[in-house]
């Protein structure tokens, strides 16, 4: 069985689009015909994305700054006068023990991973409520419930995403707008590869397998499509199945 998507005359906003899952999602949505506004702080990554798909518009924006987050959403709206979907993948993870972490590093995680998502939602909601349609995806993590040594800041912000998304779903439901959180599992993104040790990555790969960003995209495409029109307020976990052990 094959699945295809027609996103023509639709606008998709992708935050954190310079690399990883965001980049893969932006390319897939553009290929499906959407007008895509891709934002990130990584200017070189955005330039590479634009070269790969000239149909994608790019904008350098730090979503942890309220005015820049609002400007990015407005830039997406100006493409076709609406925003039909938003995929918010922006995140940082700098591992450090709690008792060694300085205030600035803790605050940086909050600004990007949690407050940044809030700022984008605050800008997106009036647009989608007015058009009475739209789908938003934010990203949580298995670390939100499991934790990990040195990952307290990242895990705490990803747990916060769950509460933010579930509350937003209640507010958006009367307006025909959907929002979900995605827990993508182990994915070879720059955020994961830069934070985990080589031994940790190898161990995960042997036990479960580490996915490529493109492998997450089919789930995202479904969730922002009409095929998921009744799905909102959920944490959609892309759980990996342990690899079989040879006898």
How far, in Å, CA of 63 to CA of 91, rounded?
A: 10
What residues are labeled active site?
A: 154
**Spatial contact of 141 and 216, defined as CB atoms under 8 Å apart:** no
Q: Do strands 56-60 and 85-88 pair parallel, antiparallel, or not at all (unpaired)?
A: unpaired
Tokens matching residue 32 = 């499906």
Residue 117 host element (H or E): helix 116-131
Give the Cα separation of 195 and 150 in Å (integer).
10
Q: 3-state class of 247 per DSSP?
A: coil
Q: How far apart are CA 186 and CA 46, in angstroms?
A: 24
């Amino acid at each position: 069985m094959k699945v295809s998507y027609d996103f023509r005359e639709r606008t998709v906003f992708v935050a954190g689009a310079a690399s990883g899952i965001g980049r893969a999602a932006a390319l897939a949505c553009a290929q499906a015909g959407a007008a895509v506004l891709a934002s990130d702080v990584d200017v070189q990554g955005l330039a590479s994305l634009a070269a790969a798909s000239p149909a994608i518009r790019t904008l350098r924006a730090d979503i942890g700054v309220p005015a820049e987050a609002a400007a990015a959403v407005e830039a997406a709206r100006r493409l076709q006068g609406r925003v039909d979907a938003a995929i918010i993948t922006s995140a940082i993870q700098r591992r450090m023990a709690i008792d060694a972490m300085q205030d600035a590093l803790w605050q940086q995680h909050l600004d990007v991973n949690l407050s940044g998502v809030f700022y984008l939602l605050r800008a997106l909601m009036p647009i989608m409520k007015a058009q009475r349609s739209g789908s938003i995806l934010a990203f949580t993590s298995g670390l939100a419930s499991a934790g990990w040594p040195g990952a307290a800041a990242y895990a705490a912000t990803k747990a916060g995403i769950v509460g933010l998304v579930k509350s937003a779903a209640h507010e958006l439901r009367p307006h025909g707008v959907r929002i979900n959180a995605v827990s993508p599992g182990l994915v070879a993104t720059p955020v994961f590869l830069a934070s985990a040790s080589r031994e940790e990555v190898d161990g995960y790969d042997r036990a479960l397998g580490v996915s490529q960003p493109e492998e997450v995209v089919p789930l995202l495409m479904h969730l922002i499509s009409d095929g998921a029109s009744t799905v909102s307020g959920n944490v959609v976990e892309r759980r990996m199945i342990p690899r079989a052990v040879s006898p």
